[in-house]
Structure 1
Amino acid sequence: MNNTPTPHNEMDRIISLADFDLDYTDLEENFKDLAKLAAKVAGTSISLVNLIDSFTQWTITNHGLDIKQMPREDSVCQYTIAGNDNFEITDLAQDERFKHKFYVANEPKLRYYYGIPLKTSGGHNLGALCVLDRDVRVLSPEKIELLKIIADEIVNRLNAFKIINNLKGKLNEANETKKRVAHDIRGPLGGIIGLAQLISEQGHTNQLDEVLEFINLIQKSGRSLLELADEILDSDKSQKLQNDEFNLLVLKNKLEQLYQPQAKNKNIQFIVNTSVDSATIPFSKNKILQIVGNLISNAIKFTPRDGKVIVDMSLKIKETQNLLKIIVSDTGLGLKKEEIENILDGSAASTIGTGGEQGYGFGLTLVKHLVEVLKGTINIYSVPGKGANFEIILPQSK
């Protein structure tokens, strides 16, 4: 039975979080000042800024407690995002829901918790700003109001990141247009220069001085434009990654950094493989971490201890577009035919993981939604008791 608290708008909530397209490993410095300020305002030793997806609570910045992530079902903030108001536990050690959690029963032996939802203008709780302490305490109304202001500023900064990412996307479209224009003008210019050279050679024979002078001007002008087109194209041939791009090597590093802790927690071997021939070719990072991350978390959830989760990634170079192919395979419980069909039609139900992990029933539905938004395809291959393979293919512009 699933006793975990779930927001009434959970599917819309995780879609809203995915739309921010955040890299949880790359946000700490942008929110560190707000976490420190929250702790100072509350008078607590610890403050965390947490974002919660289908499986995991990601601490994007912290003050006073070095933590990066934990399973969603172990967190206190899962209760904060399930409600419409702030959530307070004056003594975690006296609460049946939390007294056996590792952070209460063992070091740092936390006692006090106060969480404020990070709510978007659309009413979606992306996560929570929380303050914690090793001593029991109560916050005054004045301090709570100040913490709400800090929480609003966190959401404002997240919105700023989203706007910047959208602008980068539009800039990328402009760059694609620029490349197409450069390609389009190279052909006609090359023809003009060739024709001009031919006429110039004939002009020498016929001694047409005026024609020669005119043709020379055409040559000089045309060659100048051709060099400009080449310069535009050459600037786009660089393998240097832009802010809105990954390559397979960078993505491999990100996935290992994010999900190796989850795998180690269950003593699961986690391996990420990349194709060598296309490992440094850039591709859009739009929603990639959200898609692959949910698949990896799901695989770890349904793989028993001492099992294996493998991610195979490749970028196939095609004439009109590249194809990013990612396969997440595991040695877990596997899926029946009807379970695969339920995932593909979006009606999959929540189930309990091999380590007792609570399910929320939205992770794979989100993956399917995001893949469809990106005009990709998802295939699932599985035999009950013999693991599962999730294959994602996403088209990428050249």
Structure 2
Amino acid sequence: MIPKDIVRIQKLADLDLDYEALRNEFGPLSTLAAKVAGTELSEVNLIDNYTQWTVASSCNEFSQMNREDSICNITIQEDTDFKSRVDLDPRFNQSSFVTKEGYKFYYGIPLKLNDNIAVGTLCVGSKHIEDLSEAQIQQLHIIAKQIVKQLELKYELQKAKQSIYDEKLIKLRLAHDIRSPLSGISQLVEHIDYENLSKTEIKEIVDSISSAAAGILQLTSDILKDDNFGSTHVDEATFTVESLGKKLTDLYAPQAKSKGISLSINAESNPLKFPKRNLLPLVGNLIANAIKFTQSQEQVEVALNITNSEQRKILSITVADSGIGMTQSQVNSILNTQSVHKNGTSGELGYGMGLLFVKELVANLEGIMSIESEKNNGTKIQIQIPIVE
């Protein structure tokens, strides 16, 4: 994985996008691009570690494909754009885009955010035209800039949400850290017998301490019950275990099916809601990585449930595959933050930072990650994420 790949994937994680939900937002811009170019096809694509996600299309379809099979995988590496007569280009003329769908022409623009990292593309394709005019190209770049602007606004929104989340976490820790000892002080004061003080003095001291303790206890209770504080967990920003499982199934079942792999996602029935924060890129990368390193006719199993620890509830995530596995040395390399570069099982490129990226996301969520693997005998990854209620 090249450095720009790492930065791009991290940027997509920071955006924390629900790819399926972007169709309504970017669909009209994709349709406009097709009309401007006079082409049968226009797509807005986002490209992560393994997958190109077509989040909007002039055909009104949400789809996905292996990143290495995509022409846009080349476009994201270009400075301004990429153009090809794909029917004549030896890199593409044997692809299904040409041989099955009949396309002759491709033009793509990398969608670069303000740090100049391309997270995806706006592209058009035609079965009839062979080139675009300068005016058409300029107009397509204007549309691409609008898509980038909307993505940057989403990024700023995520940063604001993160600040709110961090503030909430600090307040929760403060409240829980001081509430218990102060409760003990109040109980202790109730039972102290000051033998050498007059009743009046004892009463004054006890009343003063009790009043102070009660005031702080009330303050911490107010922090925990603050309506504005708790309202950051609106339905749109939360998952339940079941809704997370359904979303993961919708996104990754097609990848497993295309490779002939059985994907099973078992999600516990539990009404508890928890923040969506980075869970889709975290679990999604684990599933995609498991699919990548598992042979056809084998299986990937995912289990999602809520467990209780001494102080809080825990989201437990397990992803197990029957794939090629890793040696203990390779496992140690991941856990010790060293890159492991390997190829997949169907000729996929070895984007070896996948598990390291997940490890970083887990650490950011103050979670725990463990790996059990044996060469040629599969891999099992378990993650525990504390839930802030």
Superposition TM-score tier, normalisation by shorter sequence: 0.7 to 0.9
Counterpart CA distance in 1 for 2:369 and 2:176 is: 34
Given the alignment, which residue of 115, 118, 123 partners 1:122? Answer: 115
What is the match of residue 243 of structure 1?
A: 236
Task: Give the secondary-structure state (helix, strand or coil) at the position aligned to 1:393.
Answer: strand
**Does the CA contact (< 8 Å) of 1:46 and 1:65 recur in 2?**
no
Cα distance per residue 1:45-102 (max 9 Å; x no partner): 1110000000000111111363510000110000011222211112x12222222222
What is the match of residue 374 of structure 1?
A: 365
Is residue 266 of structure 1 aligned with residue 256 of structure 2? no
For residues 40-189 of structure 1, the aligned pairs below 5 Å read 40-64=35-59, 66-90=61-85, 92-106=86-100, 108-171=101-164
What is the match of residue 257 of structure 1?
A: 250
Instruction: Give aligned-pair identity as a percent.
Output: 38
Counterpart CA distance in 2 for 1:178 and 1:357 is: 45
**Does the CA contact (< 8 Å) of 1:342 and 1:348 recur in 2?**
yes
For residues 197-212 of structure 1, the aligned pairs below 5 Å read none
Counterpart CA distance in 2 for 1:42 and 1:63 is: 12
What is the match of residue 282 of structure 1?
A: 273
Cα distance per residue 1:319-348 (max 9 Å; x no partner): 532211111100100111111122223333
- Range with bigger deviation, 79-88 or 51-60: 79-88
**Does the CA contact (< 8 Å) of 1:179 and 1:233 recur in 2?**
no
Is residue 19 of structure 1 aligned with residue 10 of structure 2? no
- Range with bigger deviation, 313-322 or 152-161: 313-322
1:134 Cα deviation from its structure 2 partner: 1.4
Structure 1: runs of 5+ lacking an equivalent: 1-5, 188-224
Counterpart CA distance in 1 for 2:166 and 2:360 is: 23
What letter matches 1:254 in structure 2? Answer: K
Cα distance per residue 1:260-313 (max 9 Å; x no partner): 00010011110011233xx22111111111111111111111111110000011
Cα distance per residue 1:199-239 (max 9 Å; x no partner): xxxxxxxxxxxxxxxxxxxxxxxxxx9xx97x95799999x
1:42 Cα deviation from its structure 2 partner: 1.1
What letter matches 1:79 in structure 2? Answer: I
- Range with bigger deviation, 7-16 or 282-291: 7-16
Is residue 39 of structure 1 aligned with residue 34 of structure 2? yes
Task: Give the secondary-structure state (helix, strand or coil) at the position aligned to 1:13.
Answer: helix
In the superposition, the TM-score normalised over structure 2's length comes to 0.82
Task: Give the secondary-structure state (helix, strand or coil) at the position aligned to 1:22.
Answer: coil
1:155 Cα deviation from its structure 2 partner: 1.1
CA RMSD between the two structures: 3.1
**Does the CA contact (< 8 Å) of 1:275 and 1:315 recur in 2?**
yes
Count of aligned pairs between the two proteins: 353
What letter matches 1:369 in structure 2? Answer: E
